[in-house]
Amino acid sequence: MRIRTQLSVFATVTSTTLVLLVPLLIWSVIDFNDAKNDYLLANAIKVNFFERSAIRDQYFLRHENRLVVEWDKSKSTADFLLRQADGLVHSDTDTNNLDNLRRSIEDTAVIFHRIAIINNPVNSTNNSSKIYQELYKRLSSQLLLKAGEVSDSVIALETSAARRIEQSYQRLLITLGIFAALLSASAIVASLYLTRIIRNRVLTLHEGASLIAKGNLQYQIPSEGYDEFSELARSFNVMTARLTDEIKSHIQLEESIRSSELRWKFALEGAGDGVWDWNPKTNEVIFSDRWKEIIGYAKDEFPNAVAAWDEQLHPDERDSVWASIKEYFESKKKNYSNEFRFRCKDGTWKWI
């Protein structure tokens, strides 16, 4: 399988898994926030209960009408919180606790208002009836008992909310752990895979390329497989094979040219002719041994330089020689042919 295909499959599987986990992560976060809000609401109900208890205790001591008004305000707040508390119901136990709490709060409100109604006769100087006193005591006792029931229901509701927030927090941690573990595992797998590719494929290519660069054109890089690195290795092998063939062809061509030049030089010098060759681009000139011999020089005595050749030209023909060469370079002549006098080693002149 091609490396690009393998990476695409790996990326697709990882992305799909992460996409599937994202809704679970979002749900866990939302569930945790809901549980936290439920706990805050349960705590607000508990605070409201203690507030009403404080108002009740103050009323027992002072019997002021303003405390009745404060009680009613606190009761309205409790009703509002209980309506919101319907979202706290997540089990039958929560339903029972909430029903008991609502019923107990209503009972305490009724009892408290009865106490407020008979409060004037109890504190009146003209009231000496033991019936009202006894009724006051009984209602106060009932109010305290109902307050205990309210306290139990509030604590049970808060405990349930606390348990739920703990469970939601644990689920959120587990989901985050799975998400992080998956990301870490993906990174580790990708790192190991890339390490294996570098160790088994890239290093092999590097070693092979180094050997080829050092001149070992016969080396064949291992190219098993069908991935991109195998194709690259096969391309290297094909390239080195073609380069080897071209080098062989070039060597054969050079040998053929050298052989032809030797035969041509042998043929000319065998006939007694001197040969010279001039490359105007590099200003390099070569005089054959026979050419130097004709003008009286040994093969190492006359320098292979155009300036040395120019110095030996006869002064009367130097300008015409260079003019003829110029005309040939400017394509005014198809062939270069010229006759001129040339000074030999002994100072004599020869026509060339």
pLDDT digits (tens, 9 = 90+) for 184-227: 888 888 778 777 776 766 777 777 778 777 777 777 877 777 77
CATH number at residue 278: 3.30.450.20
User: Is residue 157 one of the residues assigned to a domain?
Assistant: yes
- Kindly report which listed range (170-174, 244-248, 302-306) carries the lowest average pLDDT score: 244-248
User: Can you read off the two tokens belonging to residue 50?
Assistant: 């203690």
Closest among 26, 350, 1, 349 to 171, alpha carbons compared: 26
- Mean pLDDT, rounded, of the chain: 82
| Residue numbers of the domain that contains 234 | 217-271
- pTM listed for this prediction: 0.52
User: Is residue 73 one of the residues assigned to a domain?
Assistant: yes
d(CA 267, CA 125): 161
Q: How many CB atoms lie within 10 A of CB 232?
A: 16
User: Can you read off the two tokens belonging to residue 334?
Assistant: 């198809």
Closest among 124, 170, 115 to 143, alpha carbons compared: 115
pLDDT tens readout for residues 10-19 = 778 788 887 8
Same domain, 10 and 92: yes
DSSP letter at 88 equals G
Which residue type, as a one-letter code, is found at position 241?
A
Same domain, 195 and 277: no
First-last CA distance in the chain: 76
Distances, alpha carbon 121 to alpha carbons 90, 93, 116, 133, 272, in Å: 47, 43, 10, 9, 162
Q: What is the number of structural domains in the chain?
A: 3
More confident residue, 311 or 243: 311
User: Is residue 80 one of the residues assigned to a domain?
Assistant: yes
Same domain, 146 and 163: yes
d(CA 35, CA 87): 10
User: Is residue 207 one of the residues assigned to a domain?
Assistant: no
Q: How many CB atoms lie within 10 A of CB 220?
A: 14
Phi then psi for residue 170, to 5 deg, are -65, -40
Same domain, 156 and 16: yes
Stretch 313-319: mean pLDDT, rounded?
Answer: 89
Q: At what angle do helices 3-62 and 228-270 cross, to 10 degrees?
A: 150
User: Is residue 132 one of the residues assigned to a domain?
Assistant: yes
Same domain, 43 and 160: yes
Same domain, 221 and 135: no
Same domain, 265 and 285: no
